[in-house]
């Protein structure tokens, strides 16, 4: 099967599930249900594309296929922010209740954190990218520990509010936020797409990439910043989805068997739309909300991750 055929099939599935989600059981409620469903679908498409895109490019610059950008500590920073907010200000404070304020605060905190981290690391001479990852893991663990510490001390009712934030959910995404997220995501992807061919060369390794005239450091920095922005926006929009990028990126590598990032990214994005919208449809209409999508994602993702680990350890 040719890659373009595969892409059309994937696209068809994505569209099918989107329309299924939008129109199934609508009963003519075009004014009320349709816009609400539309916002949800848009949120899922945005998150799916942002996560797929950022994971694929992140894995290319780290030369590693079992990492996701969340290793840099974005998820834990997000949870820390929410926990600290609820702990010190209370769950009725404006920074928690007002979704716009919360969104802006979370996104800017995560982006500032990423920029500081990169600035600090790239300023002090040339360091291998694994150094950056290690610092990310340590900082992430540090954030996670503080969150856990606060969560132990917190009032049990308040803890429930924290717990809400710990799992991704598409059920109460606010309408305006989706448009803001859309703008940020589209802009960063347009900027990123201009150096999409450089990423193909980057997957040949640093030395070969430099030999072929790619400004390695510049492209790596740009890619790190773009993937951080995308992850920050999608996390602030729906919450942390740890394994999701890992699944779709790897499925895309296996399915398309190419080095071309233009194909890999579009493929991974279609897969995530298909999986998120399809999954949410199953959760809502089949399980009638008795579970949440992120639980299913983490379950399936965890199994797939173990499979990947076993496969990689066999191949080396």
Partner 1 sequence: MIQVRELTKFYGKKAVVENVSVNIHPGKITSFIGPNGAGKSTLLSMVSRLLDADTGEVLVDKKDVKKMKSNDFSKRVSILKQSNFMNVRLTIRELVSFGRYPYSRGRLNAEDIRIIDQALDYMDLMGMQDSYLEELSGGQRQRAFIAMVIAQDTDYILLDEPLNNLDMKHSVQIMKILRRLVDDLGKTVIIVLHDINFASVYSDRIVALKDGRVVKDGPTDDIINSDSLKEIYDMDIPIKQLSNCRICVYFNS
Whether the CB-CB separation of 43 and 170 falls below 8 Å is answered with yes
Q: With 0-12 CB in 10 A as exposed, 13-18 as middle and 19+ as buried, what is 96?
A: buried
User: What's the closest the beta carbon of residue 315 comes to partner 1, in angstroms?
Assistant: 10
Whether the CB-CB separation of 65 and 248 falls below 8 Å is answered with no
Q: Check binding of 108 to partner 1 (CB under 8 A).
A: no
Contacts to partner 1 from residues 7-26, by CB under 8 A:
none
The residue range among 85-93, 127-135, 195-203, 267-275 that interacts with partner 1, by the rule CB under 8 A, is: 195-203
Whether the CB-CB separation of 154 and 162 falls below 8 Å is answered with yes
Nearer to partner 1, 108 or 215 (CB): 215
Measured CA to CA, the distance from residue 74 to residue 305 in angstroms comes to: 19
Q: Which position among 75, 158, 200, 284 is part of the footprint of partner 1 (CB under 8 A)?
A: 200
Measured CA to CA, the distance from residue 59 to residue 203 in angstroms comes to: 9
Q: Check binding of 174 to partner 1 (CB under 8 A).
A: no
Nearer to partner 1, 65 or 93 (CB): 65
Whether the CB-CB separation of 247 and 66 falls below 8 Å is answered with no
Contacts to partner 1 from residues 60-89, by CB under 8 A:
63-65
Q: How many CB atoms lie within 10 A of CB 304?
A: 15
Q: Check binding of 215 to partner 1 (CB under 8 A).
A: yes
Measured CA to CA, the distance from residue 160 to residue 83 in angstroms comes to: 11
Measured CA to CA, the distance from residue 223 to residue 127 in angstroms comes to: 16
The residue range among 5-13, 57-65, 170-178, 292-300 that interacts with partner 1, by the rule CB under 8 A, is: 57-65
User: What's the closest the beta carbon of residue 56 comes to partner 1, in angstroms?
Assistant: 12
Nearer to partner 1, 67 or 233 (CB): 67
**How many residues in the shown chain lie near partner 1 by CB under 8 A?**
21
Residues of the shown chain interacting with partner 1 in the complex, contacts defined by CB under 8 A: 63-65, 126, 197, 200-201, 203-208, 210-215, 257, 259
């Amino acid at each position: 099967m040719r890659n373009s055929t595969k892409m059309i099939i994937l696209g068809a599935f994505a569209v099918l599930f989107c329309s299924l989600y939008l129109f199934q059981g609508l009963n003519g409620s075009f004014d009320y249900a349709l816009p609400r469903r539309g916002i949800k679908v848009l949120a899922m498409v945005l998150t799916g594309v942002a996560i797929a895109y950022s994971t694929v490019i992140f894995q290319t610059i780290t030369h590693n296929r079992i990492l996701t950008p969340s290793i840099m500590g974005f998820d834990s920073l997000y949870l820390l922010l929410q926990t600290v907010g609820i702990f010190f200000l209370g769950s009725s404070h404006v920074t928690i209740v007002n979704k716009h304020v919360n969104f802006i605060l979370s996104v800017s905190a995560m982006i500032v954190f990423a920029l500081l981290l990169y600035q600090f690391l790239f300023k002090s001479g040339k360091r291998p990218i694994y150094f950056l990852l290690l610092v990310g893991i340590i900082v992430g663990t540090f954030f996670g520990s503080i969150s856990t510490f606060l969560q132990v001390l917190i009032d049990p009712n308040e803890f429930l509010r924290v717990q809400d934030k710990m799992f991704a959910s598409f059920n109460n995404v606010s309408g305006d936020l989706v448009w803001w997220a859309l703008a940020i995501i589209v802009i960063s992807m347009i900027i990123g797409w201009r150096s999409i061919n450089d990423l193909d060369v980057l997957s040949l390794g640093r030395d070969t990439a430099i030999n072929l005239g790619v400004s390695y450091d510049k492209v790596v920095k740009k890619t790190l910043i773009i993937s951080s922005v995308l992850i920050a926006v999608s996390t602030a929009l729906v919450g942390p989805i740890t394994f999701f990028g890992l699944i779709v990126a790897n499925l895309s590598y296996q399915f398309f068997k190419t080095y071309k990032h233009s194909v890999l990214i579009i493929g991974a994005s279609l897969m995530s739309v298909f999986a998120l919208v399809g999954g949410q449809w199953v959760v809502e209409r089949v399980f009638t909300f008795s579970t949440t999508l992120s639980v299913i994602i983490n379950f399936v993702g965890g199994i797939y991750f173990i499979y990947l680990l076993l496969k990689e350890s066999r191949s080396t």
